[in-house]
Amino acid sequence: MRRLLLILTLCCAALVAAGAVLDRLFPPDLSRFNDRSTLVLDADGKVLRAFTSRDDRWRLLAGPQDVDPLFLKLLIAYEDRRFRWHPGVDPLSVVRAAGQYVANGEIVSGASTLTMQTARLLEPHSRDLGGKLFEMARAVQLELRYSKDEILTLYLTLAPYGGNLEGVRAASLAWLGKEPQSLTPAEAALLVALPQSPERRRPDLRATIAKRERDWVIDVLTDRGALTAAQRLEAIDRPVPAERKALPFVAPHLALSLAGDVPAGSTIRTHVLGGVQRGLERLAYDSARSFADGADVAMVVVDNRERKVVAYVGSADFFGKAGQNDLARAKRSPGSALKPFAYAIAFDDGILHPESLIDDSPYRFGDYAPRNFDRDFQGTLTVRSALQQSLNIPAVVVVNRIGPERFAAGLQQAGATLLYPKDATGSGSLAIVLGGAGISLLDMTMLYAGLADGGSMQRLSLRQGDRATQDKPRRFVGERAAWYVGDILVGSAPPDSYAQTATPGSRRRIAFKTGTSFGFRDAWAVGYSPRYTVGVWTGHADGTPRPGQFGRNAAAPIMLRAFDLLPPEDVTPQRKPADVLVVANTAALPPYLQMFDPSAPQITIGTRARNQASSPRILYPVEGAVIELRRADATGQQLPLKAEGGQGPLRWVVNGEPLLDQAAWKPDGDGFARIAVIDATGRSSAVQVRVQIAD
């Protein structure tokens, strides 16, 4: 007996070893499952757009978590009632099928389990005895390798549903026009019935057969207790769909861009709010149709809290003329839309205040003589009025003071990519503030989202898990300067065409700015509330001029209506930074802030201001210095600040924040810092340094 037990044990061990070797040598072929459609999903996991697989199939990944529990219940009750318990092959079904074959001389019912069907879907083969044995062996192998839910995922992704539809998700979208997460008994029964004979039961070609076979499945499921009598009556009374619907085609430009960056068959989850996206696409389409010249529309919406792109419209009609151009990424002239950032830097440097007076009068910078949009001049007015009226000359004067190179560098360090004309002099051109460099709508919206977040810039995140969300924010200006800009722009008067149709959503506090490029080629409007930033561009993809169409009348109404489509938010005004200077009028400002002096030297980076020997100059730290601090001392170590020249008292500002201790600065961590010194007359200079914390 001991010898027999030993032999049996050795035989079992040999069989197990042989099975393990065969499993290693002949693993299941998952190539069909891996050749899936690339999926781009919205924030809720619903399909925005899918792409066919390499063999031109709509093969959409679907697991048990993606379908209605009712469907899973009916599928298992109809196909494989002991699925959760058998090892891939159901012995009871095999015995029953064999007995029926012997008694009737022909196959009456099969013994195929869901796992065996999955094996056949992975590796199609003949239906003869040899094929069936191969299928059974593979089924056992799948059960040893994968969990029941993983096997269901294989089946739910590969099951045929007619034509080039594979998987329950593609079938539900094409036949029912919705995701399979919420199905009626009639819909679930149809999706159970179709894979048995997908071509013969196609609803769009053979609706009568499809309904008859679906009703048969309903009767079987009722007999087996999976459906109640009431559910049966309701389900049988429902018709089957008569046509195949197109799969979702939402945010096509964004989906195409993201799909190009990942391997085929990937699933990409975006931050897009599906309902908002569809509403904005309708708004863009309707707006484009209202333009007599057939101009296009692009829109980007950002959630300011995490810099997530929650809506993205690359063009008004993807299948229209030039509609496949992604105009949200195209570099176009922004006109006046960059002016707020020039004022923000001046506010940050402490040389300007919203109530400071500034001249709007003829001014010449060498060969360059800027003009206002209306070719008129307003004389002396406040900075607030100059920005709200989008006057060109004050903006150019401010950029001349802070330096166009510095202005351009600040935008680029914030994450924007600028495109200069071939014949331009580059970042040193004063015209940059009037649209002299191209920028994309995506980057423009990113910059305004930074203003909404107190001057802290960060790359936009287009998909969940994007590295952009892990980037350390970059300080463009301090909270005070950003607040000043927002306080000015929130007072911008809405266009008349919008005021006539304003909805309750317009109660948001929206700070916005418009822009129009030279020759009326591009019309812009970008606005932000505490929660969202909306950017809108209108124009022709080929740059055809649009006389009479400018940001205020062409883009701003679309932008404001876009806000009406966004989720509600708290309309309470944002917290005012502690160092904001609120005055009743210009006379209440410190003397050096009351009148902006355009003849003062440019704020330079690391060099003495031109033509002004007595301007302040930073002696320490020097421009471009790398300041290394030991980690153990970093939290308490203070760096001395030294300057010469200028009219005292001198004031120090780091990253837009005035220092309480005007003689020393305590770094708060790794990264770049901009240090500025300002004298009593408003003259200043600045340097940029880098702080490194070493162990």
For residue 228, give Cα distances in angstroms to 81, 299, 655: 17, 50, 69
Sign of CA dihedral 442, 447, 453, 459: positive
Peptide bond into 354 cis (omega under 30): no
- Sequence-distant (6+) residues with CB within 8 A of 442 are 300, 309, 328, 329, 460, 535
Instruction: Compute φ and ψ for 267, nearest 5 degrees.
Output: -115, 120
574: three-class secondary structure by DSSP: coil
d(CA 581, CA 164): 66
Task: State the DSSP string of 23-74.
Answer: HHHS----HHHHSPPEEEE-TTS-EEEEE--TTS-EE----GGGS-HHHHHH
Cβ count near 576 (within 10 Å): 12
Radius of gyration of the chain (CA): 34
Is there a contact between 313 and 280 (Cβ–Cβ < 8 Å)?
A: yes
* Bridge partners (DSSP) listed for residue 539: 296, 522
Who contacts 281 (Cβ-Cβ below 8 Å, separation ≥6)? 250, 251, 313
In sequence order, which residues have a C-beta less than 8 Å from that of residue 133 and are 6 or more positions away?
none
Q: CA angle 638-641-644, nearest 5°?
A: 170
Report the catalytic residues.
79, 336
> Which candidate, 148, 241, 263, places its Cα nearest to that of 193?
241
Side-chain half-sphere exposure of 246, counting CA atoms within 13 A: 5
Residues 6+ away with beta carbon under 8 Å from 583: 353, 355, 589
First to last CA, the chain: 71
What is the C-alpha to C-alpha distance for residues 452 and 439, in angstroms, rounded to an integer?
A: 19
Q: Which two tokens stand for residue 311?
A: 């809506």
* Burial call 238-259: b when 16+ CB within 10 Å, e when fewer: bebbeebeebbebbbbbbbbbb
3-state SS, residue 292 = coil
How far is residue 438's CA from residue 76's CA, in Å, rounded to a whole number?
59
CA distance 528 to 514: 12
Peptide bond into 649 cis (omega under 30): yes
Q: Is the dihedral of CA 453, 458, 462, 465 positive or negative?
A: negative
CB atoms < 10 A from the CB of 131, how many?
14
Tokens of 112: 């195929």
